[in-house]
Amino acid sequence: MGDLVISADFGTSGVKVGVVDESLTLLAKTTETYPMHLAPGGIAEQAPDDLWQGFVRAVRRLAEEFPDLQTRVNVIVFSSQLCGVICADESGAALRPCLTWLDKRAAETGQSLVGGFPTVAGYGAFKLARWLRIANGAPAKNGMDPTAKILWIMQNEADVFARTRWLLDVKDWLIHRATGVFTTSSESANLTWLMDTRKGREGWSETLSRMTGIGLDKMPEIVDGEAVVDRLSARAADELGLRADTVVLGGTSDVTAAALGSGEVEDGALHVSAATSLWIAGFMPGRVLNVASSYATISSSLSYRPLLVASQENAGSAMEWAVRMSGGTTEGEALAGAFDDMGTPQADDPYFLPWLAGERVPVDNEAVRGAFHGLALHHDARAIRRAAVEGVALNLRWAYDKVSRERGVLTNRPLRMVGGVAANAAFAQTVADALDREVHVGGARHAGVLGAATLAASYQGWAQNAFEAAARLRHQSTATYTPNPQRVDALAQRNARLEKIRRHVVRSYQ
């Protein structure tokens, strides 16, 4: 057996790939980007083969650093973005570009799907009750979940749907491309809202299939993240330059990978993952549901263990936008440097609502849009960037204040934060001040890679299971941020004012 694992984390704009050893150390890492096609009408598509070719390039590059990579790699693990829809034929060939998680063209379809009389929070009461009982949630009204996207394809691209044999999420298609086998993980299945997540009943639901009109014959088998799917196909092994007996595991989603990579695997221990978007997450002992604030637990890929996820649409994307709009560059490392000198916060700094692509938690509304409030003639580029960093941090507080009230959530320990934006010192300090919590940054840009690699721990003999391996990562921090009492007080006052502004803006979109 080889002693190394290749772990790949497929995000929105690129794939991070690392070579990981028994100590969960990244011996080598690289990132390959791929394009996203954005167009009016909420279109956000990616060609599945672009993601695969990015992975091929990454592995080939790593092989240059590890001349014996082929003989030493024993396992490949994938994690990826969720809520994509790839229509594949019998052979696995993609019939159209992937409708990514960011694609919102199905918003009207989604609202029609979940609506009805009598209405509760925009949902048909009887439909909602059934979804909540069986799946512990329901499709988002903004059309971003796979349910609405699948129905949109059925209604608008009937010829494509007729030729579709498999409906796959991003990771599912990549695993097929690597092995020839069709599988999915429980997170992806859960978010189609066609899965029963009740303990002891986990699996595809005939009841929800009939309710939505989406047949289960196109859905792949649900497998555990630690399970062996198969070995590399001859074609994939040749492309990657790896042995054909290299094992490919069931894999997981980016949210579960980040949870494992944060090291916070105890029930009720929350972490924050801040990248293009942002989410608060943590494993829980049972299902959790908050309809009013639009968050819940999903069924993770590890023995269906409930994972609470409260997702917000904009974090790094909003900060990057603010840099561009204030005359800065976002190429390469210039983006991080854009926040090195933002000047001293002022009492009359503008407020920023970072809803540039709508919002999900704690208000599920794809129509709301971002805004600056209180702009004045003397505000310059530095003030705009200060407002962006603060706005994203206080938006996080908006959701965190809701989630932290759940029974069993641990609030007496430092908050772990991972993700590319977590590596930004100005943002991490602002989060510590906004939440009045000590913040530990661990893994940062590669927490997903490390977290996914823990899935191989049992197969490799590194630990009994992924959770035991991941717990070791909790003690690996790259930076610690302690709340500044003066900024804590100032941000508390600004947050109180922002809450009033926020209510008025949200109401204007209703």
pLDDT tens, 223-269? 999 999 999 999 999 999 999 999 999 999 999 999 999 999 999 99
What residues contact residue 380 under an 8 Å CB cut-off, 6+ apart? none
Inter-residue contact 106 to 154 (CB < 8 Å): no
Facing residues of 228 across strands?
A: 249
Q: Which H or E run includes 187?
A: helix 186-190
Whole-angstrom distance, CA of residue 181 vs CA of residue 232: 10
Buried b (16+ CB within 10 A) or exposed e, 4-32: bbbbbbbbbebbbbbbbeeebebebbbbb
Least Cα distance to 61 among 17, 1, 114 occurs for 17
Q: What is the dihedral of CA 151, 155, 159, 161, to 10 degrees?
A: 10
Inter-residue contact 328 to 334 (CB < 8 Å): yes
Inter-residue contact 175 to 249 (CB < 8 Å): no
Per-residue pLDDT, 333: 66
Whole-angstrom distance, CA of residue 105 vs CA of residue 100: 11
One digit per residue, pLDDT tens: the chain, 510 residues? 789 999 999 998 899 999 999 999 999 999 999 999 999 999 999 999 999 999 999 999 999 999 899 999 999 999 999 999 999 999 999 999 999 998 999 999 999 999 999 998 789 999 999 999 999 999 988 889 999 999 999 999 999 999 999 999 999 999 999 999 999 999 999 999 999 999 999 999 999 999 999 999 999 999 999 999 999 999 999 999 999 999 999 999 999 999 999 999 999 999 999 988 899 999 999 999 998 899 999 999 999 999 999 999 999 999 999 999 999 988 766 677 889 889 999 999 999 999 998 898 999 888 899 999 999 999 999 999 999 999 999 999 999 999 999 999 999 999 999 998 999 999 999 999 999 999 999 877 899 999 999 999 999 999 999 999 999 999 888 899 999 999 999 999 999 999 999 999 999 998
SS3 of 268, please? coil
Q: Is the peptide bond before 354 cis (omega within 30 degrees of 0)?
A: no
Widest pairwise Cα distance in the chain: 66
Inter-residue contact 480 to 437 (CB < 8 Å): no
Q: What is the pTM of this model?
A: 0.93
Facing residues of 274 across strands?
A: 278
Q: Is the peptide bond before 362 cis (omega within 30 degrees of 0)?
A: yes
Listing DSSP states for 54-111 in one string gives HHHHHHHHHHHH-TTHHHHEEEEEEEE-SS-BEEE-TT--BSS-EE-TT--TTHHHHH
Q: Which amino acid is at 438?
A: E
Whole-angstrom distance, CA of residue 396 vs CA of residue 437: 13
Least Cα distance to 27 among 449, 440, 441 occurs for 449
The structure tokens listed for 475 are 């003690």
